[in-house]
A = this chain, B = another copy of it.
Amino acid sequence: MKRPELLPGTLDMLILKTLTRSPLHGYGIAQSIKRLSDDVLTVEEGSLYPALQRLLLQGWVKAEWKITETNRRARFYTLTAAGRKQLGLEVTQFEQIITAIGRVLSEA
């Protein structure tokens, strides 16, 4: 199996989490996740932008075109109330599953 860039099913959660601190554009989200994870997690563009479309459709984020500090047009995403709630749900589920996997892996 090829080394995956991230665990399938966790991307939306990571994006939502990244937006809890402040609105960010796509490029910034990807950089942020990469940096916070010490380069372990890499969000490919072909995964990122479709994911952002999904989140927009679900109403979990909203988007706004602005100018960045480096003087470029970019689409800034902001977490909505629904998005914050969704993030809580996903984190809870994720931790439950990770705990369960941990139990299986730690069996004598």
Contact = CB atoms under 8 A, between A and B. Distances in A.
A36 B107 contact: yes
A41 interface: yes
Copies held by the complex:
2
Contact of A14 (B7, B90, B99, B104): B104
Residue among A41, A94, A104 with max Cβ neighbours from chain B (10 Å)? A104
A6 interface: yes
Interface residues of A, number: 35
Given A7-B8, A7-B9, A8-B8, A100 B40 contact: yes
A57 interface: no
A3 B37 contact: no
B7 A41 contact: no
Contacts of A61: none
